[in-house]
Amino acid sequence: MLENQKHLFNLPEDITYLNCSYMSPMLKSVAQVGTAAIYGKDDPSTTKPEHFFESTNGLRKAFAQLINATSASCAVIPSVSYGLANVAKNLKAGKGDNIVVADEQFPSNIYAWKTLEEERGITVKYIKPPKEAEGRGARWNAAILEAIDSNTKLIATGHVHWADGTKFDLKAFRKRADEVGAILVIDGTQSVGALPFDVQEIKPDALICAGYKWLMGPYACGVAYYGEYFANGSPIENNWMNRLHSEDFSNLVNYQDAYQPGAMRYDVGESANFILTPMLTRAIQQVNDWGPQNIQDYCETLAAPFIEELKALGCEIEDPEYRGRHLFGVRLPAHIAMDALQQRFKEERIFVSVRGNSIRIAPHLYNSAADLAHILETFKVAEKAV
């Protein structure tokens, strides 16, 4: 099993950071790439035409390795909203059709579909989680499957829920989607990089990922996978790089109607971004070196004793088969006040997120048993204070 990797980061020693689901800390190696890239423009004569495409090709290759896809099926995007806008533009659906979504997702995976509802008369079906704690994850998955019908054209969810780590059965969703002729679109921002995801196994039609969380990269740079459904689609923007033969700078004035092959048509303009793109490439290369399953195993070993003690305090945590090991929500019993606990976190310099009625805890390889012991003690002190 992997050992603690904190030495690869520049995390301050006086904080307990259990919040990778909010934003990952910067790897030293990624910061070094970014610093070198900033100074690379001191002499612009060193930037050659081929570098515009080598930069993105490296990122595509790293991401494709991570999700077991081909480089040609991967695109460079600035954000989840951008990647999902490409999906929305190319969705074959209209009035009378519906989109099934797990409710309370991150807004980017909702607003794209709300816009379709307003513009095309498509119905968005929000499947709320059960209120009861017992069997919550299993019953939520079952409710989503039940909501999918012959008029469903799109199922949109994460692999784990962004607010509390509830795990969704994507294979079952895929099977049901095939039965009704729907596509499956996954926001992988809170899972890909820390939870194994195999495109050949899950067969999503699109997988959209921001880069600044579990992919360990910079903000404003992400990656996406687009399957066969989108092979001949129309991108939301027309930039010179996503057109055929754009590598030939001397021929750019001979305008092309055809796009680059594969998912490159969905690349954001200036995707070569000579600072952010190589930074995200290096970050994903490190994730590939670690291996997402090893990250899951490390987080499980680290958090398991802590979770059992939290349950003994009366906290509610999802059943193991229906939550990620890298991200899980803690719902408080009546005898622990949320505001008092948050104040203790602030005083103790413990960094987690509160999402809805859940405290979201998200460890990674830079965390140690001492970090989990620190937050557990804070829960105990808050309990006594009530």
The helix (run of H) or strand (run of E) holding residue 306 is helix 292-312
CA distances, 187 to each of 116, 146, 190, 358 (Å): 18, 21, 8, 20
Provide CATH 3.40.640.10 ranges for the chain: 33-289
Look at residue 264 and tell me whether its pLDDT is greater than 80.
yes
Per-residue pLDDT band at 386 (split at 50, 70, 90): low
Look at residue 117 and tell me whether its pLDDT is greater than 60.
yes
Strand order in the sheet with 152-158: 74-77, 222-226, 206-210, 183-187, 152-158, 98-102, 123-127
* The pLDDT of residue 385: 67
For residues 202 and 170, give the distance between their C-alpha atoms in angstroms, rounded to a whole number: 6
For residues 361 and 351, give the distance between their C-alpha atoms in angstroms, rounded to a whole number: 9
Look at residue 356 and tell me whether its pLDDT is greater than 80.
no
For residues 306 and 27, give the distance between their C-alpha atoms in angstroms, rounded to a whole number: 26
For residue range 2-12, what is the model confidence (pLDDT) as tens digits? 999 999 999 99
* The pLDDT of residue 194: 98
Strands 206-210 and 152-158: unpaired
Provide, rounded to the nearest whole percent, the portion of the chain with pLDDT above 70: 99
Neighbours of 167 (CB within 10 A): 24
Provide CATH 3.90.1150.10 ranges for the chain: 6-20+291-385
Please name which of 192, 191, 165 lies closest in space to residue 330, comparing C-alpha atoms. Answer: 165
Look at residue 125 and tell me whether its pLDDT is greater than 90.
yes
33-289 has which CATH code? 3.40.640.10
Q: Which of 79-83, 213-217, 355-359 has the lowest mean pLDDT?
A: 355-359
**DSSP per-residue string spanning 175-205:** HHHHHHT-EEEEE-TTTBTTB---HHHH--S
The CA-based diameter of the chain, rounded to the nearest angstrom, is: 74
In 125-269, which ranges are continuous DSSP H helix?
136-147, 170-180, 199-202
Q: How far apart are the first and last CA of the chain?
A: 40
350 Cβ contact partners less than 8 Å away, ≥ 6 residues apart: 15, 16, 18, 344, 374, 375, 378
By residue count, the chain amounts to: 386
CA distances, 7 to each of 4, 31, 296 (Å): 8, 14, 19
pTM of the model as a whole: 0.96
For residue range 275-325, what is the model confidence (pLDDT) as tens digits? 999 999 999 999 999 999 999 999 999 999 999 999 999 999 999 999 999
Average pLDDT over residues 108-128: 96
Q: Which of 45-49, 57-61, 198-202, 356-360 has the lowest mean pLDDT?
A: 356-360
* The pLDDT of residue 374: 97
Average pLDDT over the chain, rounded to an integer: 95
Average pLDDT over residues 379-384: 83
Q: Residue 92 has what DSSP assignment?
A: -
Letter for the amino acid at 248?
D
Rg (CA), the chain: 22
Please name which of 227, 230, 222 lies closest in space to residue 189, comparing C-alpha atoms. Answer: 222
Report yes or no: 91 and 139 within 8 Å, Cβ to Cβ.
no
Q: Which two tokens stand for residue 121?
A: 């008369």
For the domain made up of 6-20+291-385, the CATH class stated in words is alpha beta
For residue range 182-232, what is the model confidence (pLDDT) as tens digits? 999 999 999 999 999 999 999 999 999 999 999 999 999 999 999 999 999
Look at residue 384 and tell me whether its pLDDT is greater than 80.
no
Per-residue pLDDT band at 132 (split at 50, 70, 90): confident
Look at residue 365 and tell me whether its pLDDT is greater than 80.
yes
